[in-house]
């Protein structure tokens, strides 16, 4: 028997695992519990500024445990566009440790199910946690075996709740997510969710530095009725521009495709680059005071 998902607690909200009721409430007590400082009456472990302020909340807790304050291994931009047959989502495969290009084969676009693909920028470990949540939902769909699976818009809505829930617990998932796919009615879907739960849908999406570099190209050239060949050419041009200008990018990319026929993620590939522009050869020629 495949177990039911464990990270979708009714008391804690979506995307958070833990006991249903760490501290009993009036639902199981004769009277409401007496309030205590920094100690919730329902949910998981207390969020404590000073772990020693509530010694009885969780006796086995590590007092040095802290929430993520800053992302360490991160991915840069994610780009996505609609075209006449579905959606394309692209990203490079770099997991940067600060400014060090440390992990160069880290997939950041993944297949969720046969109708949805997902791309993520930001903290890689948080993205791996999100993948675990979605794997549990996919497993639950398989376990139920009723012929229904989550559609792209439903996964998008679920992730908005997960990220907003974690943000409200002062322990956000440091990611910008792009969700794309084809709805049961055959329409393409494309949406973006930020680390604080802000979300929107559009015909083209770009996160990180690409929101300044790639979206001008998308605004001028993207059309919902464009062919797959034109869409792929546009995506390659946008990836090329981002690689030229973003020091946190590498020339190794993957493109995920979602159509009515299913979803797929390409093998990593490189793009032809041109470095012999005149201003590249003599970058300081017209810079007054440069060496």
- The residues carrying an active-site annotation are 68
Q: Which residue has the tokens 């300044």?
A: 212
Q: How far, in Å, CA of 202 to CA of 215, rounded?
A: 12
Q: How far, in Å, CA of 205 to CA of 233, rounded?
A: 16
- 95: nearest Cα among 71, 116, 111: 71
Which residues neighbour 258 within 8 Å (Cβ) at sequence distance 6 or greater? 86, 87, 89, 115, 116, 117, 152, 180, 181, 182, 188
Which residues neighbour 219 within 8 Å (Cβ) at sequence distance 6 or greater? 204
Q: How far, in Å, CA of 198 to CA of 73, rounded?
A: 23
What sign results for the dihedral spanned by CA atoms 233, 236, 238, 241?
A: negative
SS3 for 189-216, per residue?
EEEEECCCCCEEECCEEECCCHHHHCHH
């Amino acid at each position: 028997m495949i177990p039911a998902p464990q990270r979708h607690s009714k008391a804690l909200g979506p995307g958070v695992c833990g006991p249903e009721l760490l501290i009993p409430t009036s639902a199981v007590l004769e009277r409401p519990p007496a309030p205590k400082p920094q100690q919730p009456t329902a949910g998981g472990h207390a969020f404590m500024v000073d772990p020693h302020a509530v010694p009885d909340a969780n006796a086995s807790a590590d007092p040095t445990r802290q929430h993520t304050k800053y992302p360490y291994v991160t991915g840069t931009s994610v780009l996505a566009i609609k075209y006449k047959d579905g959606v394309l989502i692209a990203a490079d495969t770099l997991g940067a440790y600060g400014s060090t290009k440390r992990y160069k084969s880290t997939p950041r676009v993944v297949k969720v199910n046969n109708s949805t693909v997902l791309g993520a920028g930001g903290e890689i470990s948080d993205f791996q946690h999100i993948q675990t949540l979605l794997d549990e939902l996919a497993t639950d769909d398989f376990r139920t075996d009723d012929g229904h699976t989550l559609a792209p818009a439903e996964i998008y809505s679920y992730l908005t709740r997960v990220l907003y829930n974690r943000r409200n617990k002062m322990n956000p998932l440091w990611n910008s997510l792009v969700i794309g796919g084809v709805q049961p009615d055959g329409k393409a879907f494309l949406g973006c969710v930020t680390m604080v739960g802000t979300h929107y849908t559009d015909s083209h999406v770009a996160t990180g530095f690409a929101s300044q570099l790639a979206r001008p190209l998308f605004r001028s050239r993207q059309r919902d009725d464009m062919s797959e060949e034109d869409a792929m050419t546009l995506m390659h041009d946008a990836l090329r521009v981002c690689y030229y200008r973003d020091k946190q990018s590498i020339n190794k990319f993957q493109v995920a495709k979602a159509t009515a026929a299913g979803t797929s993620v390409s093998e990593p590939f490189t793009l032809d680059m041109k470095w012999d522009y005149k201003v590249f050869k003599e970058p300081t020629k017209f810079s007054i005071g440069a060496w």
